[in-house]
Amino acid sequence: MKNLIPRRFRLLATSLAALLLGITGAQSTYASPVLPGCPAGEIFATDNTAIITDPDDPRLTTRLRHFEHEVRGIIRAHGARPGGSTLLDGVFWSEELKRTTYERSREFDVNRAGPDSLRHIAAVIAKRYHQEAVLTFRCLPRTSPETDAVEIEVPGVRAADLRAGLLADPEVRERLGGGSVTLDGHLVLVAPLADLPLARDFTVSLGADWGQAEIRYGDREFVG
């Protein structure tokens, strides 16, 4: 992630319970999140510092088990409770290299953590693993004045689909930067709230069914 993190984590996509989009007979771009299903916060991070441009690089097969164990310990050590963790295959566009880059990362659910605590934990992770920035996301009501982002998860997308989509769409590359895919084929995007329509159109262009998408609203922050 070093040197590319802020652009890479404009979305990610990242992978928690939320409100199923799609209303009777039509697909809707907006919906309200199911707040009881949200953890206090999420952290998207990796221990990787290399720029990987080959999708067949063996470093992309790691399951980050040791990293997962260590991060869960960091979360506990700072008074929060770790929840589940999801392994992600990230595909991002590098403007400097003019090509896609790849990365294995993990999303961590963090419970019993307020905004300051979540930010502090992310800062500790960024420092320990030499990351330029670590992405956090807090689930909030759509109408909250702090809401500035959306987290989208939709099934039916492969990392190869995401790569092809980024290569084909300059606007998406510029505004969204990239995204992630879970090992079972769920696209995860964390995008600015204003870019939700663009993220929806991009998701559909990848062949996914927006009617199966889950979305939540909240606050994202890049913590260095």
3-state secondary structure of 104: strand
* Helix or strand holding residue 123 (H, E): helix 115-128
CA dist list (Å): 145 to 40, 139, 148, 175, 217:
17, 12, 8, 22, 11
The token duo for 202 is 């991009």
Domains in the chain, number: 1
Euclidean distance between CA atoms 204 and 24, whole angstroms: 18
Amino acid, single-letter form, for residue 210: W
Residue-level pLDDT at 138 = 96
* Helix or strand holding residue 131 (H, E): none
Residue-level pLDDT at 214 = 94
| Domain of residue 169, residue span | 5-223
- What does each of the 224 residues of the chain score in pLDDT, given as a tens digit? 333 333 333 334 333 323 222 322 333 343 333 456 688 899 999 999 999 999 999 999 999 999 999 999 999 999 999 999 999 999 999 999 999 999 999 999 999 999 999 999 999 999 999 999 999 999 999 999 999 999 999 999 999 999 999 999 999 999 999 999 999 999 999 999 999 999 999 999 999 999 999 999 999 999 98
